Structure 1
Amino acid sequence: MPNTACVLRTAFLLMLCCLPATVAAQLSTRLERGNGPEPSTLDAHRCQEVACGNVLRDLYEGLVTEDARGRLVPGIAERWSVSADGRRWTFVLRDGLRWSNGEPLDAAQVVASFRRAFSPTTAAPFGELFDALHNARKVQAGELPSAALGVTANDARTLEFALDRSAPLPALLTLPIAFPVYLPAVARHGAEHTRPGNLVSNGAYRLTSWTPQANLVVERNPRFHGATGVAIERVRFHVTEDAAAELQRFAAGDLHLTEVVPPQPLASLRARFGDQLRISPYIGAFWLGMNLTREPLEGQPGLREALSLAVDRDILTRHVTGLGETPAFGIVPPGIAGYTPAMTIWSTSTQAQREARARALYRAAGYSVDKPLVIELRYNTSTPHRRLALAVAAMWRKVLGVQVRLRNEEWKVFVGNRKQRVITQVFRGGWIADLPDARNFLAAFGSDGPLNWTGFDDAGFRERLAKADAAASEAARNAWLHAAEVRLLQANAVVPLYFYSSKHLVSPRVRGFEANALDRHASRWLRLQDAPR
C-alpha cells in the first residue's frame, strides 16, 4: 500500500501550487501557534495568565518591551532615564505613534490608561506588583482618586513615574497591565471592547477574529512603528488545552509551534522530533496551594506539612513530568541573579524519613486509617495537570491513607474558584516569573489581593517584605526576601513540587525562535521559511 501521509502531503502541495497567488501567500505567511487554554480575557489590564499574555504581546506594546532573547529594548518609548535615587523615571515616546485605527497615541493617553488600570473598578490582578509606584495601592483600593497615581505627562511625548522606593520599573512595564488601552473603545463598548472589530491596539498585530474555544487570528498592523520589521502577516492562536492532542496536531503539520509538550519519555520525544524539541531553563515554580481560610486546612500547619512531606518529587519529575523539570522544596526557583533560594528544613532528608514524619504529623492532626482525611484536589483541564494530580493523590493515599477527590475545571471556572477561596481546598498553583526577581514570586502572599489564592496572612512575612523594600543595598534586599521565603515555607501554605523547564515543539520552518528565561516569544520576532514545493 502507498504511504498515506506521503499521498496526503503530495496532494496538499499540488493544491497549494494551484491556488491563486494571493491565497497561497496567505497560507505561507500565517503562523499557527498552540496557545494552551482559552484566554480568560483580552483586556490587557485584567490579564493574569500566560494564554492571554501571549496574544496581548502581539496586539499591544508598552513603553518597554523585550527582544527575542528576552532582553529589555525600547517599546513605544524611544529612551528613558532614572534619577540617582532610583525613584523618578522619565520616558520619551517615539514620534508619530498611532493606534491601529490610525489615531495618534500620545503621553496623555498612556497616563489615562495607567489610571484606568489601577482603578478599583478595573481590579487589575497584577496591580500589586506595582506597589512601589506612588499611591498605586491607595488608588487601587479607592482611597485616593486616579489622578493621585504617580504617573504624569509633562508634554505630548514625555512621561514621568514617581516611585516610593527603588524598583525595576522597565521590566515591570513589559507586563500587560502597563500596556496602553484605547479608552474610547472601552467607553463605547465596555467589556466588549476586546472583541474583533472593537479592539483597537498599538502593537505589531491587530485582532481580526476570535472563535471561542477554537482560535484567535491576528494580522500585521501597518500602523505599528516597527511594521516593516514584522515578517509574518497573520498569526492564528489555537486553543490547545489537551497537550497530547496539540502534539499530534504539530506532528500532522497543523501547528508550527506548540505551547507545551505532554509528559512523555524524553528519549522517545528526541528520537521522534529531534531538533524540533526545544527544552530550556525557565524561571517558574509549580506548587499546590492550600486554602488556609477554610476547613480542613485552616489552622492545621502540621497537617499541611504532612501532605507536603508525603509527595515524592523525584518520582514526579522523573516519571510524571520528565522533561527537564527539577524537584522543588521552595517557592523561588534558581537562576535569579544575586538571590539564594530558600528550602524546607527537610529538603535534605531521604524520602523514607519524610514519609515517617508525614505519618506522625498526620496522626497528630487527628487522622488515621479509620478516620482518613477526605479532601479535594482541584486543577484546570490539562493532560499534564491531570497526570500530576493523579500521581499526588496516589502518593497521599499510599503514605497517609488520604481520600482524594479530583476536580478538573475549564480554565475560566478554575481561575474564578481559586480566586474566591470558597470551595477550594487544595488546588493547582504556581508562578511564572513576570520579571527575574525573587519578590515577584513572594509579593502575592503579602496582601489579601486577588493573587493570594491561599489566603496566607502573616505579619512576620509582611514585615520581612517591607524590610526588603526598604533595604539600602541589593544584597540586603535579597537577604530579607530570603527570610520572607523561609517564613512562608515554615507555614506550609503551599506544597512545592517542581521548577519548570520551557518545552516547545518548533517547526523547521520557524526562524527567530530563541530560548529565554521568561519563555516569551512575540510573533513579531519570528519568520516563516517558504514551505517546500
Structure 2
Amino acid sequence: MRRTTSVLQRYGSALLLALVAPAVPAQTAAAQLERGNGPEPSTLDAHRCQEVACGNVLRDLYEGLVTEDAQGRLVPGMARSWTVSADGRTWTFTLRERLRWSNGEALDAAQILASFRRAFAPATAAPFGELFDALDNAQAVQAGRLPPERLGVAAPDAHTVVFTLNRAASLPALLTLPIAFPVYLPAVTQYGAQHTQPGRLVSNGAYRLRAWTPQANLLVEKNPQFHDAAAVAIERVRFHVTEDAAAELQRFAAGDLHITEVVPPQPLAALRRRFGAQLRLSPYVGAFWLGLNLTKPPFRDGVCAAPPCDDKALALRRALALAVDRDKLTRYVTGLGETPAYGIVPPGIAGYTPAAMPWAKLTQAQREQRALALYRHAGYSNDNPLVIELRYNTSTPHRRLALAVAAMWRQTLGVQVRLRNEEWKVFVQNRKQRAITQVFRGGWIGDLPDARNFLAAFGSDGPLNWMGYDDAGYRQRLARADGAHSEAARNAWLRAAEQRLLNDNAAIPLYFYTSKHLVSERVRGFQANALDRHASRWLSLSP
C-alpha cells in the first residue's frame, strides 16, 4: 500500500545486513519459536505499518503505553496506570519506572511525545492516522495545516503523557496499534528509511531485531532491557515468509514450524482427522471483500444518493456483486467456518447491528437474474463482454477465491476476467495508487472491535481508501456518528454510513473471517481472541 521503488533498492541493504548478522548457535535452537507469518512485511517502521504481517513482528519488537495480554484484554504497557477526566476528553498515562530502549538508553515521556509527533507528521504518511480522528488536531497536523507541536499530546514531566481529545472517546485500545509505538528517533535521523534494518533498529518491546533475510524470514531475540524480560520464556522467534499456505501446512507437518499464519482451504473433517487439537479455529473480527477502482472506467461515477438508481457504472458494480454465490464460496472454496458477507462490518461488535446489501435476502437464482439485467443495462452482452482484471496478492487461498469468482462472473454474465497475482509489496503499492487497478482483493482485519474501524477508510482520500470512494453523504454520516452523545446514536449513524456505502456498491463483500492456525502441541499460552493477536512474550515451548 505504499511507494514505488525497486525491490533491489529497497531491500538490497537489508539483504547485506542479514548476510552479515551473527548466526544462531545450533545448541540453543530448542529455545526458538518458528512462526509462519504470511507475506514479507512491507516495513518495520511502526508508524507506517498497515497490515498483519508487519503488525505481528512489531508487536514483538515494540510496546505501546497500553498492550494486550494473551486473551486480548487491555493491560498496562509502558504506562503502569492511566486515568480519564469526567468528560472523557483528557487521558493521563503514568509511565513505569526505568523504561529502557533495547540499546540500554532511558525512555521517557518526552521521547514518547516526539514519537507521536513524528507519527502524525505529513512526511510520515502514517496510514492509521485517520483512526485517531478524536485526538485533538490530529487530522490537521497530518494534513499539514498545523505543525506537529499542535497535536493533542503533551509530556508535562518525564513520567507522564497526556492526551487531549476533541470529543469523549475510548483511547486505550487505539494505543495498542503500531502507530502508537515509540520509534527511536536518533536512528531515524541517522539512517532514514534504513533505520528498520538489523543492527540499526532500536525498539522497546520484549524482543529486538537480530536478522532479516528478505523473502525468507526475520529473527528476533529476547530484549534484556524489556521491563518484564524475566517473564519472557522464549529466547528467539523466527517469523517465516509463508505466502503459499499449502507449503506452510507441509512445513508444519514436517515439524519446521510451530505456528502457521493460516490454514489452506481443505475439507474441515480431513484437517481435524489429520491435526486434531492442533487445528485452532475461532471467531475473528475481519471482513473480506473485493474493491472496485471508482476513479477510472468502467466503475467510475455512479454514486447513488438513494436507491433505486439509474446509472450504468453503478448498474455494473451491482451486477458483479449480485452474481457471486457466497454460499458456494464459503462452503467449497474457503471452507473453514467463514460466513457469507453482505456488508462491510462483521458481526459480533457490541451494540452494533451491521447493515446489509438491499438484495441480501433474495435467492441466488433471483440475484443472478437481476445481475444479468443490470449487466445488459450497463451496455454489456455476449457480443460486447466486460473485460476486467482481478488483482490479488500471491497466496493459495486468494488464488482459489479469485478463480472461483471469475468463473461465477463468466458463467452468469459472460465477463472475461484476467487474473493477476503480485508479490505483496507490489500489490499494496498498486492498490494504494489506484492507477492500474480495476478489481482487487480487499478486506479489513479489525484493529479494535469498533464498527468505525471498518468504515473510516472510505470517508477520506487517505492511503487506505483503495477504491477512491468519494461521497459527501457518507462523510456526513461519519461526522454525525463522531458527534453523537450516546453510544446508541453513534452506532445508528455508523450503520447509516455503512448502508450508504453498500447501496453504492463501492466494494463487493464476500465473507467474514475466522482465525485459523495450526499450533504445535509444544506451544503453551496460545489463546483465541477476537483480534487474533498472539504476541510471543505470552507463549512458551515445552520440551
TM-score range, shorter chain: over 0.9
Query: 1-side partners of 2:262 and 2:360: how far apart?
Result: 29
| One of 144, 147, 150 as aligned partner of 2:149 | 147
Shift of 1:35: 0.2
Please identify, of 170-179 and 296-305, the stretch whose mean Cα deviation from structure 2 is larger.
296-305
> Counterpart in 1 of 2:309?
none
- Show CA shifts across 1:365-424 (max 9, x none): 000000000001000000000000000000000000000011100000000000000100
- Please give the secondary structure, in 2, of the residue aligned with 1:307: helix
RMSD of aligned C-alpha atoms? 0.8
> Counterpart in 1 of 2:53?
51
| Mapping 1:221-300, distance limit 5 Å | 221-299=223-301, 300=313
Query: 2-side partners of 1:26 and 1:270: how far apart?
Result: 32
> Counterpart in 2 of 1:35?
37
> Counterpart in 2 of 1:17?
none
Specify the code of the residue in structure 2 equivalent to 1:281.
Answer: P
Query: 1-side partners of 2:56 and 2:270: how far apart?
Result: 29
- Please give the secondary structure, in 2, of the residue aligned with 1:524: helix
| Mapping 1:119-158, distance limit 5 Å | 119-158=121-160
Shift of 1:84: 1.1
- Please give the secondary structure, in 2, of the residue aligned with 1:90: strand
Specify the code of the residue in structure 2 equivalent to 1:138.
Answer: A
| One of 425, 428, 434 as aligned partner of 2:438 | 425
- Please give the secondary structure, in 1, of the residue aligned with 2:343: coil
Q: Structure 1: where are the runs of 5+ without partners?
A: 1-21
Query: 1-side partners of 2:28 and 2:48: how far apart?
Result: 32
- Please give the secondary structure, in 1, of the residue aligned with 2:88: coil
Query: 2-side partners of 1:115 and 1:90: how far apart?
Result: 17
User: Structure 1 segments of 4 or more deviating over 2 A?
Assistant: 22-25
Shift of 1:166: 2.0
Query: 2-side partners of 1:162 and 1:242: how far apart?
Result: 45
Specify the code of the residue in structure 2 equivalent to 1:338.
Answer: G
- Show CA shifts across 1:91-124 (max 9, x none): 0000000000000000000000000000111000
Specify the code of the residue in structure 2 equivalent to 1:199.
Answer: L
Q: Structure 2: where are the runs of 5+ without partners?
A: 1-23, 302-312
Query: 2-side partners of 1:409 and 1:27: how far apart?
Result: 34
- Please give the secondary structure, in 1, of the residue aligned with 2:221: strand
| One of 362, 373, 392 as aligned partner of 2:386 | 373
Query: 2-side partners of 1:86 and 1:57: how far apart?
Result: 27
- Please give the secondary structure, in 2, of the residue aligned with 1:209: strand
Task: Report how many residues are paired.
Answer: 509
| Mapping 1:100-179, distance limit 5 Å | 100-179=102-181
- Show CA shifts across 1:279-306 (max 9, x none): 0000000000000000011121111000
Query: 2-side partners of 1:106 and 1:277: how far apart?
Result: 42
Residue 311, structure 1, aligned to residue 324, structure 2:
yes
> Counterpart in 2 of 1:16?
none
Specify the code of the residue in structure 1 equivalent to 2:343.
Answer: G
> Counterpart in 1 of 2:98?
96
> Counterpart in 2 of 1:14?
none
Query: 2-side partners of 1:303 and 1:24: how far apart?
Result: 59
Query: 1-side partners of 2:168 and 2:54: how far apart?
Result: 29
| One of 329, 352, 359 as aligned partner of 1:346 | 359
Query: 2-side partners of 1:107 and 1:321: how far apart?
Result: 46
| Mapping 1:206-221, distance limit 5 Å | 206-221=208-223
TM-score (norm 1): 0.95
Query: 1-side partners of 2:283 and 2:169: how far apart?
Result: 25
- Show CA shifts across 1:447-470 (max 9, x none): 000000000011111111001000
> Counterpart in 1 of 2:477?
464
Shift of 1:165: 1.4
Specify the code of the residue in structure 2 equivalent to 1:216.
Answer: L
Query: 2-side partners of 1:472 and 1:84: how far apart?
Result: 14
Query: 1-side partners of 2:209 and 2:525: how far apart?
Result: 23
> Counterpart in 2 of 1:9?
none
Specify the code of the residue in structure 2 equivalent to 1:92.
Answer: T
Residue 412, structure 1, aligned to residue 414, structure 2:
no
Shift of 1:168: 2.2
Query: 2-side partners of 1:265 and 1:305: how far apart?
Result: 31
Specify the code of the residue in structure 2 equivalent to 1:63.
Answer: L
TM-score (norm 2): 0.93
Shift of 1:33: 0.2
- Please give the secondary structure, in 1, of the residue aligned with 2:176: coil
Shift of 1:167: 2.1
| Mapping 1:62-73, distance limit 5 Å | 62-73=64-75
Residue 357, structure 1, aligned to residue 367, structure 2:
no
| One of 433, 439, 455 as aligned partner of 1:442 | 455
Query: 1-side partners of 2:492 and 2:129: how far apart?
Result: 25
- Show CA shifts across 1:349-378 (max 9, x none): 100000000000000000000000000100
Query: 2-side partners of 1:25 and 1:526: how far apart?
Result: 21
Shift of 1:28: 1.3
Query: 1-side partners of 2:527 and 2:30: how far apart?
Result: 21
- Please give the secondary structure, in 2, of the residue aligned with 1:153: strand
| Mapping 1:12-31, distance limit 5 Å | 26-31=28-33
> Counterpart in 1 of 2:399?
386
- Please give the secondary structure, in 2, of the residue aligned with 1:240: coil
- Show CA shifts across 1:37-78 (max 9, x none): 000000000000000000000000000000000000000000
Shift of 1:85: 1.2
- Please give the secondary structure, in 2, of the residue aligned with 1:126: helix
> Counterpart in 1 of 2:62?
60
Shift of 1:24: 6.2
- Please give the secondary structure, in 2, of the residue aligned with 1:199: coil
> Counterpart in 2 of 1:511?
524
Shift of 1:25: 5.4
Specify the code of the residue in structure 2 equivalent to 1:274.
Answer: G
Query: 2-side partners of 1:165 and 1:334: how far apart?
Result: 26
Query: 2-side partners of 1:84 and 1:321: how far apart?
Result: 47
| One of 465, 483, 490 as aligned partner of 1:477 | 490
> Counterpart in 1 of 2:347?
334
Provide closer, same or farther for how the CA distance between residues 193 and 24 of structure 1 changes in structure 2, counting only shifts above 3 A.
Answer: closer
Q: Could you tell me the percent identity over the aligned residues?
A: 79
> Counterpart in 2 of 1:396?
409
Query: 1-side partners of 2:368 and 2:285: how far apart?
Result: 29
Specify the code of the residue in structure 2 equivalent to 1:72.
Answer: L
Query: 2-side partners of 1:26 and 1:330: how far apart?
Result: 49
Specify the code of the residue in structure 2 equivalent to 1:389.
Answer: A
Query: 1-side partners of 2:383 and 2:540: how far apart?
Result: 61
Shift of 1:26: 1.6
- Please give the secondary structure, in 2, of the residue aligned with 1:465: helix
- Please give the secondary structure, in 2, of the residue aligned with 1:344: coil
Please identify, of 394-403 and 160-169, the stretch whose mean Cα deviation from structure 2 is larger.
160-169
> Counterpart in 2 of 1:451?
464
